[in-house]
Structure 1
Amino acid sequence: TIIQTFPNGLIDTSEIKEHTNVANEIHNFTKRFNVDSKDKFKFINNGIFGYTTYDAVKHFEDIEISKKEDSLNIPEIYYAVYQNIIAINHFKNEAYIFAHCFDSESNIDDIHHLIKAKNFASYEFTSQGKINSNLTDDEYKQHVELAKKHCARGDVFQLVLSRKFEQEFKGDEFNVYRALRSINPSPYLFYFDYGNFKIFGSSPEAQLIVSNGKAEIHPIAGTFKRTGNDLKDAELANQLSTDDKENAEHVMLVDLARNDLSRHSNQVTVETYREVQFFSHVIHLVSKVTGQKHKDVSTMQIVADTFPAGTLSGAPKHRAMQLIEQYEKTSRSFYGGAIGFMDFEGNYNHAIMIRTFLSKNHQLHWQAGAGLVSKSNPENELQEVYNKLGALTKAIELAENI
């Protein structure tokens, strides 16, 4: 069901049918809003904010995604136009306050007063019991062997299989986010509070960026664990850039990004290739693929073309997603989806929901996977999953002392 709620109280509900173009529905929703301000800013000051779950790919592609046992019950796609946006320039210590008004006075003075008051409640966070997973380590290694067989048979070149983790808690999970952004600073830091659930994370990877018609994908593939020693990390970075298995994985995903963008874009180019980038707990190989979207095509069509990121599915994408549906025990839900904003001009910036928590009913949920190829070593791939989750489990520990 598609539910659209408007400032005048109108609620528009429609059923998703076989011919429904969900990407177009989102595009049309944004076109119902007008922005009066003629001032140009280099940062977001209007538009829709929210997320698209991995499971929502069934609305963009002809693929079966079922609702599995123990699935998280959240909307597959959720976007909202917020009354106020506060944009902070940390370099200049400046804050810009914007108001979206509909038959009402601006509330900017009220927001300004709240900021100056500096009154906010703070609560403690305590984890309860041990971390649980939907797979044991041995079961995950069995999944690696299954993926290797599919790669050897030629069904896929690469397959991303993941496992899910859960932790019960008491108190305020915002402390986990505070800890996470401190120990794992990333290009995308986000905290979305939807009342009965929250999504927050520190993602290193863009799902898609569209700016003035130019679309960008930044494939991240190839992962080594950091040691904490700068000299050793530099040596590891050199090993990563020459590792056959990691490079083969990366090349496939760069090609996939090029193909996805080529569906409705011109001048598709690999602008940077296999650049080594350092994050708090891991080292990654990163590339940048760009294209100029066709003028008569909406940004949401580019989103549909490129969703989900190949780094979260594998290649070829369609067959890889079928195998994910076959082997993963739990619906992915938010994991591997995208979160961010799109303004009313079609400029779009979303992070992939990796290194991300979902909090619901006093439970934290998080997930990670590995890109599996025919040369994968099960023990190494298992450790890659744990390496990627290092910052998240550490954030849970640190949150108890904030």
Structure 2
Amino acid sequence: MKTYPLTTHYKKIIADTITPVSIYLKLRDKFPNSLLLESSDYHANDNSFSYICCNPIASIKVSNENITKVYPDGNQEIITIDTDTDVSQQIHLFSKCFERDQNEFKFINNGLFGYIAYDAVRYFEDVEIQKKKGSLEIPDIYYAIYQNIIAINHFNNEAYIFAHCNGNESNIDEIEHLLKVKNFAAYNFSIEGDITSNLNDEEFKQNVEKAKQHCFRGDVFQLVLSRRFSQKFKGDEFNVYRALRSINPSPYLFYFDYGDFKIFGSSPEAQLVVDKG
């Protein structure tokens, strides 16, 4: 297994006049496919960090029963998923391909950033998932390693610019220059047509009745029924994220830009917390 050494460079800056949103807006045109992980819980030092990740150098994607790994040197590996494929092990092996510098920081400054969709449960549990017509055609799992990570400590009004380099020079000065720029491009947003849904009211009620029967039989102890609403639009979808964080302010917010699709949301609590490794 080939390994890719990553040399870490960093610089600390004062962050009392910048916000995660303003940083993201200044970087996204120069570095497309960037991520924003935002925390608004500044009361304790443990949960006071926001992160902007940009400049992806490697990725692992699970889509259409294939695992696609892309490495910093441009090499690509595709694995067809069958009954013997351990998806979680493949993700673990991918992460082990990168040798990172050890550092003294207690907060996240490198690693895999991305998401796992609900339908990916079939790769970890004996659950059969049948995608229906109209399902979103996005990867079940997508993780990437980013050359640049900006970690913002809201508690101390500090930010750290990291550059994880695989044989190339650090671009910290370039990013710091972009952060000092006072202006950034703004794009309009407008909706088109009416809101549509994948279920009508009667179909959703039928699903509720089915869920109640499963509960009565003891098949499950909890079910979360969802209904997808869609709205056509023109312009910049990041404006929707900005509206969401205003309408539904939460301690944890995220906006992931993958080019062809975006994922964003807000949550009142962390789903998973890892303490001391």
Q: TM-score range by the shorter chain?
A: 0.7 to 0.9
Identity of aligned residues (%): 68
Query: Which of 192, 205, 213 is 1:141 aligned to?
Result: 205
Instruction: State the Cα distance separating 1:200 from its structure 2 match.
Output: 0.9
State the secondary structure of the residue aligned to 1:114. Answer: helix
Is residue 78 of structure 2 the alignment partner of residue 23 of structure 1? no
- Is 1:200 the counterpart of 2:239 in the alignment? no
Partner letter of residue 183 of structure 2? N
Aligned pair in 2 of structure 1 residues 201, 159: CA closer, same or farther (>3 Å)?
Answer: closer
Alignment of 1:60-71 (within 5 A): 60-71=124-135
Q: Name the aligned partner's letter for residue 160 of structure 2.
A: Y
Identify the residue that residue 111 of structure 2 maps to in structure 1: 47
- Is 1:86 the counterpart of 2:134? The answer is no
Other-structure match for 1:107: 171
1:9 and 2:74 matched: yes
Question: What residue ranges of structure 1 are gaps of 5+ in the alignment?
Answer: 214-402
Name 1:182's counterpart in structure 2.
246
78-87 or 146-155: bigger deviation: 146-155
Tell me the equivalent position of 1:56.
Answer: 120
1:127 corresponds in structure 2 to: 191
Query: 1:95, CA displacement in angstroms?
Result: 1.4
Distance across 1 between alignment mates of 2:87 and 2:182: 41
Across the aligned residues of Structure 1 and Structure 2, the Cα RMSD in angstroms comes to 1.5
**Cα distance, 1:24–1:80 mapped onto 2, change above 3 Å:** same
TM-score by length of 1: 0.51
The residue type paired with residue 81 of structure 2 is I
Q: Residues of 2 paired with 1:157 and 1:111: CA distance?
A: 49
Q: What secondary structure sits across from 2:202 in the alignment?
A: helix
The residue type paired with residue 138 of structure 1 is E
State the alpha-carbon separation in 2 of the partners of residues 37 and 104 from structure 1. Answer: 19
Mapped pair 1:118 → 2:182: yes
Aligned pairs, number? 212
What secondary structure does 1:87 align onto? strand
How far does residue 63 in structure 1 lie from its aligned partner after superposition?
A: 1.8
Where 1:44 maps in the other structure, the secondary structure is: coil
Q: Secondary structure at the match of 1:211?
A: coil
Structure 1 Cα separation of the partners of residues 263 and 220 of structure 2: 31
Which whole-Å CA distance do the structure 1 matches of 2:134 and 2:211 have between them?
Answer: 24
Residue 37 (structure 1) shift: 4.1
CA distance in 2, matches of 1:155, 1:58: 18
Instruction: Name 1:160's counterpart in structure 2.
Output: 224
Opposite residue 195 of structure 1, the aligned amino acid is G
Matching residue's letter, 1:97: I
Residue 100 of structure 1 aligns to a residue in which SS? Answer: strand
Shift of 1:61: 1.1
* Change in 2 beyond 3 A, CA 1:8/1:73: same
- Deviation, structure 1 residue 106: 0.7
Is the partner of 1:58 in helix, strand or coil? helix
| 2:254 partner SS | strand
CA distance in 2, matches of 1:151, 1:96: 49
- After superposition, where does 1:191-340 map in structure 2 within 5 Å? 191-213=255-277
The aligned counterpart of 2:100 is 35
In structure 1, distance between residues paired with 2:131 and 2:207: 20
- Is 1:150 the equivalent of 2:243? no
Letter aligned with residue 80 of structure 1: A
Q: Given residue 42 of structure 1, which amino acid in structure 2 is its aligned partner? A: K
Partner of 2:161: 97
SS in structure 1 of the partner of residue 215 of structure 2: helix
SS at match of 2:165: coil
Alpha-carbon distance between aligned partners in 1 of 2:87 and 2:246, rounded to the nearest angstrom: 37
Greater Cα shift, 175-184 or 152-161? 152-161
Partner of 1:379: none
SS in 2 for 1:159: coil
Which whole-Å deviations, capped at 9, do the CAs of 1:232-286 have from their partners, x for residues lacking one?
A: xxxxxxxxxxxxxxxxxxxxxxxxxxxxxxxxxxxxxxxxxxxxxxxxxxxxxxx
- 1:205 positional shift: 3.7
Whole-Å separation in 2 of the counterparts to 1:94 and 1:154: 51
TM-score for both structures, normalised by structure 2: 0.72
Separation of aligned partners in 2, 1:135 and 1:81:
37
Q: Provide the rounded CA distance (Å) in 2 between the counterparts of 1:118 and 1:23.
A: 43
- State the distance in 1 between where 2:149 and 2:247 align: 27
